[in-house]
Amino acid sequence: MVLIALAALTACHKPDAREPIKFSCSQVEVSTKANASYITDDALVSGNHFAVYAWDTGNQFLSADPYTAFGAPALMNQLDITYQNNNNKGQNNTYSGDYFWPLTSTPAYCYSFLAYYPYAASSGISGPTFSADNVGVYSFTAKNKAEDMVDFCVSDVSNDVVYGNTYTAYPGTVGLTFRHTLTRVQVKFVKASDVDEDTHIYIEDAKLVNIRKTGNLTVTYAQYVDDITDPENPAAAPGFGRKGKTSINWATDPDIFGPYELSINGVDPDPDVPTVADLGYTQTVSPEEVFLMVPQTLYKENEPTPQSITFNWRVGEESATPASLILDECVKAIGSAERAGITAWTPNMSVVYTVVIKAKPIEFALTASIRKWEDEDGYYTIIP
């Protein structure tokens, strides 16, 4: 799922300027956590911030190794944009300083842009740093509680942008397409139909354990490749309106884990008082039960520290018994032997794990379903 942010840009460092640069986030198409700290269900939150980076690429398009010559962005380097609203392609969004488009030149004078959201000291995001082989390396640490988690988004590179070649009514506006970088994870507990309705099963102290919570995100860029003119010999072909490919890759810290307390029946866990739930046959997943996690490899039982769901369970007033279900072993459906095929959490993945309690006399099965983040509905709104 994507978030379209629009940057209205005007004259850069030259006296032959047109108008000051503006930024916006209109045409929001991102589905997000409804009660997250930085994004509502359909838009950025007024008063919050995103950061923009820009390279002055002169009168030549980006080369095949585009940022070797540029290094850290010189035109805009972590320009702090305050989001206000989507009106008029972001004409009301503000920042400090003056940036301008040059007057029309031949050959055309180009800028290239990148951004991330949210830009806030409390977001858990650090960076980016730049080198010749990337357009930014970010470090990120996920929050400990679901309700505090943020939707870390990085934009595609908007490369070779020239004044007047984007929007007719707003010729200085630059489009920035933001992508989700994290994995959305939900957990449900349900009773199977073979469990008698008079059998009261209680779940206590449920957690996601061994979750890698810190990682580095590397963003890379490659030029637009023309594979139409000569399909047998595709070649890089920069130019107006030719969008290059921006890629993201995560590497996690294997030694930093987070035990994430699970909310059951929408009840927030208290670290001193474990959540106790008498399960019914259907459970809903509320926004408080949704985690935004660092993408990572999921380990098997015989591998070091596999990611698992752990909990204590009891029937009626019986003593509690511990249970542990390894995420890598989840299946596609109740009663199925077919593995769900989730060996890693990837960016923009939405995965729902369902712990199914069955009567034999009592046993547990872990099922999972995955979808693209933008395909979801309910608490996650998609703006067309």
Question: How many angstroms separate the first and last alpha carbons of the chain?
Answer: 11
Residues 239 and 315 in one domain: no
Whole-number Å distance between alpha carbons of 241 and 372:
27
Number of domains, the chain? 2
Residues 162 and 94 in one domain: yes
Asked which of 231, 252, 273 is the last residue of a domain, the reply is: 252
Residues 68 and 117 in one domain: yes
The answer to the question of residue 382 being in a domain is no
Q: What's the Cα-to-Cα distance from 324 to each of 130, 191, 269, 303, rounded to whole Å?
A: 42, 17, 18, 15
DSSP labels for 109-172?
PEEEEEEEE---TTSSEEEEE--TT-S-EEEEE--SSGGG----EEEPPEEEE-TTSS-SS-TT
Helix (H/G/I), strand (E/B), else coil: 107 = coil
Asked which of 252, 280, 303 is the last residue of a domain, the reply is: 252
Asked which of 252, 276, 308 is the last residue of a domain, the reply is: 252
The answer to the question of residue 384 being in a domain is no
The answer to the question of residue 96 being in a domain is yes
- pLDDT value of residue 213: 94
Residues 29 and 89 in one domain: yes
Residues 72 and 111 in one domain: yes
The range of the structural domain enclosing residue 192 comes to 184-211+262-375
The answer to the question of residue 381 being in a domain is no
- pLDDT value of residue 245: 85
Whole-number Å distance between alpha carbons of 277 and 191:
12
Going by the DSSP 8-state scheme, the letter that residue 230 receives in this structure is S
- CATH number for the domain harbouring residue 300: 2.60.40
Residues 207 and 63 in one domain: no
Whole-number Å distance between alpha carbons of 348 and 250:
12
Residues 106 and 19 in one domain: yes
Share of the chain above pLDDT 70, in %: 68
Residues 191 and 145 in one domain: no
Whole-number Å distance between alpha carbons of 24 and 26:
6
- The verdict on pTM exceeding 0.85 is no
Residues of the chain below pLDDT 50: 1-17, 24-42, 62-69, 266-271, 273-275, 281-282, 375-384
The answer to the question of residue 21 being in a domain is yes
Residues 348 and 236 in one domain: no
Residues 222 and 369 in one domain: no
- pLDDT value of residue 43: 54
Residues 170 and 110 in one domain: yes
Residues 7 and 96 in one domain: yes
- pLDDT value of residue 27: 29
